């Protein structure tokens, strides 16, 4: 079955700097890669996603990249702000098995003043 | 739309007591999920359902039971609570299809003494 590895588990960056979170997946049939943000005391919420037919997607300060050959995908946050402090989860799902989204273990991002 | 709602928000149980967590969604989603979230462990899938009247085991099903008698509701039961079941429980729902977003509820914080 699919396995999603996420690194790092904790990341601290100065406000205004960039943050990068990396994930790898194992199932070559995976075709959809969402990223979720979980703020303190709340449920995770989708912030951006990418499909397997696209290499990069950007939404304001957030971008995702996908390397299908290497089975890597990454989240990039530029010009970080205090409100970016949260736990981020990468995930993958497969066209062959779309009943479950497989999540990484999460990255706790701290934005330092 | 209320999205995904969970009842109750907080609960304290004594070891051996039973309880049921209720999840409701108003988006007509086929798929529903129960996760538990513990520090450093990410989101672990307990049970899930791909439709009314069907359920399946996830990664950590022991000690829990579920039922999906109505499409909009997914119940998680603890028959005899143990301190190891102290956790934050999240329900989620999703439409069928690999590109569809998974929506999470706000969570239930359960403490078993």
Structure tokens that stand for A18 in this block: 């960039």
> Rounded to an integer, what distance in angstroms lies between the CA atom of residue A72 and that of residue A61?
20
Give residue B40's pLDDT: 78
Residue B112: pLDDT band with limits 50, 70, 90: very high
Please return the burial class of B11, using the count of CB atoms within 10 Å of its CB with bins 0-12, 13-18 and 19+: middle
User: Of all residues in chain A, what percent carry a pLDDT higher than 90?
Assistant: 88
Give the closest-approach CA distance of A35 to chain B in angstroms: 10
Find tokens 């690194």 and name the residue.
A7
Residues 70-109 of B with CB under 8 A from A: 90, 92, 94, 96-99, 101-102, 104-107
Q: Are A71 and A52 in contact (CB under 8 A)?
A: no
Give residue A1's pLDDT: 76
Give the closest-approach CA distance of B84 to chain A in angstroms: 19
To 10 degrees, the CA torsion angle through A18, A24, A28, A31? Answer: -40
Cis peptide before B8 (omega within 30 of 0): yes
Question: Does A51 contact B99 at a Cβ distance shorter than 8 Å?
Answer: yes
pLDDT tens-digit map of B1-44: 789 999 999 999 999 999 999 999 999 999 999 999 998 788 99
Q: How many residues does chain B have?
A: 113
Average pLDDT, chain B: 95
> Rounded to an integer, what distance in angstroms lies between the CA atom of residue B104 and that of residue B37?
13
Question: Does A43 contact B107 at a Cβ distance shorter than 8 Å?
Answer: yes
Residue A97: pLDDT band with limits 50, 70, 90: confident
Give residue A89's pLDDT: 97
Q: Are A106 and A11 in contact (CB under 8 A)?
A: no
Find tokens 């409100």 and name the residue.
A83
Residue B97: pLDDT band with limits 50, 70, 90: confident
Question: Does A105 contact B102 at a Cβ distance shorter than 8 Å?
Answer: no
Give residue B103's pLDDT: 97
Of A11-20, A90-99, B30-39, B73-82, give the lowest mean pLDDT range: A90-99
Question: Does A43 contact B90 at a Cβ distance shorter than 8 Å?
Answer: yes
pLDDT tens-digit map of A28-83: 999 999 999 999 999 999 999 999 998 999 999 999 999 999 999 999 999 999 99
B24, β-bridge pairs: B5, B73
């Amino acid at each position: 079955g699919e396995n999603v590895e996420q690194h790092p588990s904790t990341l601290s960056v100065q406000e205004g700097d960039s943050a990068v979170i990396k994930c790898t997946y194992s199932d070559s049939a995976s075709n959809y890669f969402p990223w979720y943000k979980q703020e303190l005391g709340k449920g995770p919420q989708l912030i951006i996603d990418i499909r397997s037919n696209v290499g990069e997607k950007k939404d304001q300060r957030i971008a995702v990249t996908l390397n299908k050959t290497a089975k890597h995908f990454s989240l990039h946050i530029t010009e970080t702000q205090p409100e970016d402090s949260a736990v981020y989860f990468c995930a993958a799902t497969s066209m062959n098995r779309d009943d479950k989204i497989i999540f990484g273990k999460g990255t706790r991002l701290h934005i330092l003043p | 739309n209320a999205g995904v709602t969970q009842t109750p928000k907080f609960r304290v149980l004594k070891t051996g007591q039973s309880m049921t967590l209720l999840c409701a969604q108003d988006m007509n989603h086929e798929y529903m999920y129960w996760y538990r979230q513990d520090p450093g462990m990410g989101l672990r899938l307990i049970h899930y359902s791909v439709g009314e009247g069907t359920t399946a085991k996830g990664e950590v099903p022991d000690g829990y039971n579920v039922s999906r008698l109505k499409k909009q509701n997914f119940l998680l039961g603890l028959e005899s609570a143990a301190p190891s079941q102290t956790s934050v429980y999240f329900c989620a729902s999703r439409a069928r299809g690999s590109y569809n977003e998974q929506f999470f509820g706000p969570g239930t914080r359960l403490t078993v003494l």
